[in-house]
Structure formats: C-alpha cells, structure tokens
Structure 1
Amino acid sequence: MPSSLDRRQLFQASATAIVVGGLNTALATSTSAAESAKGSLVQDATVLFQGDSITDAGRDRKRGNANDSRSLGHGYPVLVAGGLLKDYAGKNIKVFNRGISGHKVPDLANRWQADCIDIKPDVLSILIGVNDIWHKLNGRYDGTVETYETGYKALLEDTLEKLPNVRIAICEPFVLRCGAVGDHWFPEFTQRLEAARRVADELSLERVAFQDMFDEAIKVAPPQYWAADGVHPTLAGHTLMAETWRQTLGL
C-alpha cells in the first residue's frame, strides 16, 4: 500500500493530467505553460464568474465591485481572483462574481443582460446545473435534462452573438456521494453532466473538468473532505477548483 506522501504525489499528478490531457504531457509542458501564462490576459481584461451558490460562496451582493474580496465571496472565484491580480499586476484586470445561490439555467437567462452582457467580460466562467436537478428532486422544479441542455445552449449562443470575442469556460457541474447526494441523484445527474459537456463541445467552448477532478480527489481523502454535503465545496475543495480552473485556462 502506498504511503501518504506517495498518494499525495499521485493525486497531484492525476489532477494535473485531467486538466491538460495526459500525465506525460502535463509533466513535459508544466514549465512552458507557467512561463507563457502571464501573457494570456490582455490589458484591462474583465473576468466574470457566473453560477449558483457554489460560485456565489456567500458574497456580499450589495457591493458588486470588481477585485473586492467581500464581493467575490469565500470560494474559488476569490481564490482565482487573488492569483490573477498577483500574477497580472500592472494589467488593470477586473474580476467580478455574479453567482447567485439557488439559481438554475432559467434564472441565469432572466438576469443575463445586466449580470453578464452589460459587464462585457473578456473571460466568462459559468458553473450551473446542480440546482436544476436538486430542486427537481425536492419538488420545487420540473425541468428535464432536455430543458437544461436546450436552455443552456440558447443562453450561450445568445452570449456569443452579443459578445463575439468573449472566451467562455464551461465549468462542469459536479457532485460527490455524501451528504445530500445519494443513489437517487443518478443516473439523471450524469445525464445533465453529459449535456453540459455536449453543449460546450458543440459550441467549441473550453471545459473545466470539475467532476473528473473530484473523482480523483476522493482517492486521497473522503468525499466529505472536499464537499461536506456532496455539493458545496469545503475550503480544500474550492482551492482545488481554483487551481484546476487556472491550469485548464492557462491563466
């Protein structure tokens, strides 16, 4: 049986392999990727995080300012923002968080003009989908996998039409089998995850493989270590998400 150090090393290598497409490639390109990353955000770039409570992460919605820790919440967006602001000092970048707890794809659509289009992001990150099934299981929503997929695709197509130069990252919805998440979530959750992947692929958008990432993470520590209720990440989970997000986008 491998030692704890060996397991940590294995996990770190596996997580890197997930986001860059292979362990050997990751090891060979890690240095060059790090060296080139600082040139990948333009001067005055705007980065926008969108989604539900995982992205919201307790942010102060009354403030809404760029680069403000209270406006960014305590989750992966603030961790990403801190790293970007450090690494791109002098480029005057702006990072916003507009995630709202409880939201589903139709909720994004209802507020999209003000909370996305008007902000004119250069990089748009979206994590949405877990409430589309969770609220259905709780009897508060009747949306299907099909309505999730068609609604999501329509929202993204509209975004690309209005913001033709935006770089969109589709963060795949994820769950861990603990807390609120049990067998009754499946196979529908997997079907929704596959729908998000199809939409991203059909529109040639980047995908952040959070489900694969957590599937590797639970080989090192139990599911509740990363997301106590199976949905909302712990500090460790958010940190892993932030690292994977930056590695995937090369930022």
Structure 2
Amino acid sequence: MRRFYQLLQIALIAIPLLAMRQDKPLRVIFFGDSITQAGVSPTGYITKMTEMLKAAGQDSQFELAGAGIGGNKVYDLYLRLEDDVLSKKPDVVFIYVGINDVWHKTSSGTGTDPDKYVKFYEALIKKMKAQNIRIIVCTPTVIGEKNDNSNAQDGDLNEYSKLIRDIAKRNNLELCDLRKYFGDYLVKNNPENKDKGILTSDRVHLTDEGNKFLAERMMEALVKVK
C-alpha cells in the first residue's frame, strides 16, 4: 500500500500538468489479450487505475478503456486495430501482447515466430503513428513465477522482451518493461520459488495483487512528464 500512495503523490503532481495540455479527457486504450480483457473487471488493473485517478481527483481528465480479447496474439491485434482502436481516436495506446505468441507455441503449436512478431508489431506502430497516437509498448510478463529462470517459457519470453525493447528504441517509443518489473518483484517476494500464487493465479493471469502491481507500473508510464 505504501507504494500505492507514493504513486498517488506522483500523480497529483504529474497528472495536472498533462491535463492542462488538452481541453478534453485524455483517451487511453489498453490493447492486448485476456490479461487486458480482465483488466476492466471489478478487480482488474484498468479498473484499479481508474480508482487511482479518482483518488487523485483527476478521473475527469482521463478516459481509460480496455481492448483486450482472450487468446489474442500480435496478428490478432493487427486485424482488429481499425475497429477496436483507431476508430476510437485515442490519444494514448498501451500495446501489451506477447504471452500467447510465446505460450501457444507449446500449448497448441500456433505461436508467432520472432520475425513475424516484429513485422506485425511494427505494422501496428506505423498505423498508430500515422494518427499521432502516443504509443507505450509493454514487454510480456510471465508464464510461471519461478524466479530462477527455470519456467519453461522463460527463454522465449526473454527473447521476445528483447525484441520489444529493440522495437521501442528503433521507433523512439516509450517502454513499460513489465518483464523486468515482474522479475524484480518475484526475486524479492517469492522466496519459496513457487510457480504461481504471487502475482498470478495460474502462472499467467493476475491475482488482485498482480493487478494492483500492474496498475502501478502502467500508471507510472502514463503520467511520465518529459
């Protein structure tokens, strides 16, 4: 909770500065898979961000919306970009996709190869940039919470996270490095090296604590003032 209130203090300073730059609520869309689909639930991370804004007295300055569909991979996002994102005329879009691109390789043989992942990801970026949208790219979090790099998909998740970091650098985009944030948290808070039950309920989808942690990290990225 202390971290939560520290973040609110940041928001009280940074959010008014952002809000003064426009005469309408800043429209923010979170574009992703089932984690984002659940983000608008009563305990989801998008709902928690809205509550944080309300506590800071700034909920009227921001309009947060989820555009997550369970099972989605990067090419699914590309196919629904126009209807679910561009048509909404957002000011800010968080792209948070990659778990299924990795996970489905072993679960169903329908994952996304790294080269195709990058091509579809950069195609998303190109279309958003054409509408002058502020883009924040997110690395994938976890498929298993063991903190010693022994989860089955850790190698691929690390590789795809590096791809996103490179994409962010190459396209001069803001990065929300969730892979690193989750890893650092689990090193400190998972002394028994459990594979779930800390930030996730099933190795992937978030617990209430996981949603709170994700909301804080997303909020830090959103209110960053350059």
C-alpha deviation, 1:142, in angstroms = 4.5
| Partner amino acid, structure 2, of 1:35 | I
1:16-40: CA deviation from partner (whole Å, max 9, x where unpaired): 9xxxxxxxxx9xxx96774233221
What pairs up with 1:1-251 in 2 under 5 angstroms? Answer: 34-41=12-19, 42=22, 43-57=24-38, 72-73=40-41, 74-86=43-55, 87-91=57-61, 93-161=62-130, 163-164=131-132, 166-175=133-142, 177-178=144-145, 183-222=151-190, 224=196, 225-250=198-223
Q: Write out the 4+ residue segments of structure 1 that deviate beyond 6 Å after TM superposition.
A: 30-33
Give yes or no for contact 2:103–2:111 (8 Å, CA) kept in 1.
Answer: no
TM-score by length of 2: 0.82
Matched residues in 1 for 2:145 and 2:47: separation? 26
Matched residues in 2 for 1:109 and 1:243: separation? 27
1:72-106: CA deviation from partner (whole Å, max 9, x where unpaired): 22321111122234432443x32211111110001
Give yes or no for contact 1:53–1:99 (8 Å, CA) kept in 2.
Answer: yes
Q: 1:241 to 1:229 in 2, by over 3 A?
A: same
Give yes or no for contact 1:178–1:229 (8 Å, CA) kept in 2.
Answer: no
| Partner amino acid, structure 2, of 1:226 | L
1:200-249: CA deviation from partner (whole Å, max 9, x where unpaired): 11111111121121122113322521113222121101101111111233
Secondary structure in 2 matching 1:194: helix
Give yes or no for contact 1:48–1:98 (8 Å, CA) kept in 2.
Answer: yes
Q: 1:81 to 1:143 in 2, by over 3 A?
A: same
Q: Which runs of 5+ in 1 are unaligned?
A: 1-7, 17-25, 60-71
Secondary structure in 2 matching 1:188: helix
Give yes or no for contact 2:25–2:60 (8 Å, CA) kept in 1.
Answer: no
Matched-pair identity in %: 26
Give yes or no for contact 2:15–2:58 (8 Å, CA) kept in 1.
Answer: no
| Partner amino acid, structure 2, of 1:213 | Y
Secondary structure in 2 matching 1:94: strand
Matched residues in 1 for 2:184 and 2:138: separation? 17
Q: 1:214 to 1:183 in 2, by over 3 A?
A: closer
| RMSD between superposed Cα atoms in Å | 2.7
Q: Which runs of 5+ in 2 are unaligned?
A: none
Give yes or no for contact 1:178–1:228 (8 Å, CA) kept in 2.
Answer: no
